[in-house]
Structure 1
Amino acid sequence: MHTVLPSIDPAIADLAPGFRALSISVDAAEIVNPHIGADALNRACQSLSTGGAPWAEAHLQAWGEVFRRFGAKPQRTPCSAEALLKRVRRDQQLPSIDPVVDLYNAISIQYAVPVGGENLAAYAGTPRLVVADGTELFDTMKDGAPAHESPEQGEVVWRDDIGVTCRRWNWRQGVRTRLGADARQMWFILESLPAMPLAALHQAGEQLTQGLHLMMPGATIESRLVGVEG
């Protein structure tokens, strides 16, 4: 299988000391239990009624501080985990989107951790987390039509050889590499800061992996820890 080892710009250590992530590569198989994702999403939403993860508030606050360091305004453009949690607290649930997307959104909600899911076959080169110079292109949708925009100079983005795949670290995913259940090569990245215990990050990754195996029993999955300092 193709194992993804993303590249992380050394400048990220200054913006987010102690940043670490789980990179999970998947050679997908036929989905035989599509309900796994929706079931997990419902359980995750219900778990918030009992308070959610004990580190959630501190972890999301830490992400807000990191976003401010590179010029983002977390009140307007929060990290992906905070955005999901706000929607659940407002609506008490999230609508089902796609079996795989439902599953990784469930992990993000339950563990208060940003989780990205990408169609690896759409990538050109290795995913890398960098500080943008402002000339990169990001594909998105505006008024229902395909469009391109550029990140701000100094903004933290995920990108490949073609352009930006996710703006403001993990705030908005691009269209080109968007993941769905029909993808044959999948890549997930679970991103955490020291406010989230490392053991909890591994537990979140294991739960995602277990869910994928239940959903598509023939899948091959490999997980790597990246970005740890020291």
Structure 2
Amino acid sequence: MDTILNSAHISPSIFSLRPDYRALLMIAENIPTGPSDESSSRLLNEAESHIKSLLSSQGIPITEFPHIFAWRETYKGFGAKPQKTRNSLEALTRRAAEGGLPRINRLTDIYNAISVKHQVPIGGEDLDKYDGAPFLVRANGEEEFRTFSAGEAKIESAVPGEPIWCDDVGITCRRWNWRQGPRTALSDESTRVLFILDALEPLGDDELVRAADELADALKGLSGDVKTLYQIIRAGN
């Protein structure tokens, strides 16, 4: 666990784009396998209720939720149109408010619920399908992203300048937190996971850590054997 976290790195070009960016990387091991269940569905229901309550009490559209607004502005900064390529937090928050959050598998359900509740983009990667340590860079346009479209395998090229999370094989997530690749996606059988929590101002470190702690607690609630470790990467470290 230490080796992967200590080897993770973020390109200075990312901090040139957003000096306030922080990535909390968490590794969780010994997670019991399983599909969506009552406990993960309950977390999703709670997240949906939380968003509906926020919309009712704050009286502002989802696009003006502080952290979502910050990510929309950041997407514009590297040339993406936030109306067409929504960051994962906005996409999930919209689903929570409208048709309801999807039930995918227990692990994905858990981190999606916590993402929405704490308003933090979160990604999950299966470490048994991962190669090396994670790193975040801005694409040069030659990187390939292997995905699926309408059930068919498809290869896309990253757009020059877009931030991409990678391992030693290639891209694992495009546009910071827009689209994760299927190669390292979580499944019902995933037991070792890398979680990536993305933060921009105005979201503070205290809320970022609260989200990580709740994620760790939810995973440890599945089994006493679950172990977690995290670190925060920011400009200058």
TM-score, scaled relative to structure 1: 0.92
- In the alignment, the residues of structure 2 paired with residue 226 and residue 146 of structure 1 have an alpha-carbon distance, to the nearest angstrom, of 33
- The answer to whether the 8 A contact 1:21-1:191 is kept is yes
1:152-167 alignment to 2 at 5 Å? 152-167=159-174
Deviations along 1:117-157, one digit per CA (max 9) or x if unpaired, are 00012112211100001111111002211111111111111
* Residue 67 of structure 1: how far off its partner (Å): 0.8
Residue 76 (structure 2) aligns with = 68
- In the alignment, the residues of structure 1 paired with residue 17 and residue 113 of structure 2 have an alpha-carbon distance, to the nearest angstrom, of 27
Deviations along 1:38-58, one digit per CA (max 9) or x if unpaired, are 22111111111221798x711
Equivalent of residue 25 in structure 1, options 1, 9, 27: 27
Deviates more, 1:100-109 or 1:181-190: 181-190
- The answer to whether the 8 A contact 2:28-2:229 is kept is yes
The SS at the match of 2:153 is strand
Residue 175 (structure 2) aligns with = 168
* Residue 31 of structure 1: how far off its partner (Å): 4.5
> Are residue 46 (structure 1) and residue 49 (structure 2) matched?
yes
- In the alignment, the residues of structure 1 paired with residue 43 and residue 137 of structure 2 have an alpha-carbon distance, to the nearest angstrom, of 32
1:94-133 alignment to 2 at 5 Å? 94-133=101-140
- In the alignment, the residues of structure 1 paired with residue 232 and residue 179 of structure 2 have an alpha-carbon distance, to the nearest angstrom, of 23
Which structure shows the bigger proportion of residues in helix conformation? 2
Identity of aligned residues (%): 37
- In the alignment, the residues of structure 1 paired with residue 32 and residue 96 of structure 2 have an alpha-carbon distance, to the nearest angstrom, of 30
The SS at the match of 1:215 is coil
- In the alignment, the residues of structure 2 paired with residue 229 and residue 8 of structure 1 have an alpha-carbon distance, to the nearest angstrom, of 10
* Residue 181 of structure 1: how far off its partner (Å): 3.3
- In the alignment, the residues of structure 2 paired with residue 207 and residue 3 of structure 1 have an alpha-carbon distance, to the nearest angstrom, of 24
The SS at the match of 2:183 is coil
Residue 144 (structure 1) aligns with = 151
Residue 77 (structure 1) aligns with = 85
* Residue 178 of structure 1: how far off its partner (Å): 0.3
* Residue 2 of structure 1: how far off its partner (Å): 5.4
- The answer to whether the 8 A contact 1:138-1:163 is kept is yes
- In the alignment, the residues of structure 2 paired with residue 17 and residue 178 of structure 1 have an alpha-carbon distance, to the nearest angstrom, of 29
- In the alignment, the residues of structure 1 paired with residue 152 and residue 2 of structure 2 have an alpha-carbon distance, to the nearest angstrom, of 33
- In the alignment, the residues of structure 2 paired with residue 85 and residue 34 of structure 1 have an alpha-carbon distance, to the nearest angstrom, of 21
Equivalent of residue 66 in structure 2, options 43, 58, 73: 58
Q: Give the number of equivalent residue pairs.
A: 229
Structure 2 letter corresponding to 1:4 = I
Residue 13 (structure 2) aligns with = 11
* Residue 29 of structure 1: how far off its partner (Å): 3.3
- In the alignment, the residues of structure 2 paired with residue 29 and residue 172 of structure 1 have an alpha-carbon distance, to the nearest angstrom, of 24
Deviations along 1:148-167, one digit per CA (max 9) or x if unpaired, are 11111111111112111111
TM-score, scaled relative to structure 2: 0.90
- In the alignment, the residues of structure 2 paired with residue 218 and residue 99 of structure 1 have an alpha-carbon distance, to the nearest angstrom, of 17
Q: Which runs of 5+ in 1 are unaligned?
A: none
- In the alignment, the residues of structure 1 paired with residue 19 and residue 186 of structure 2 have an alpha-carbon distance, to the nearest angstrom, of 29
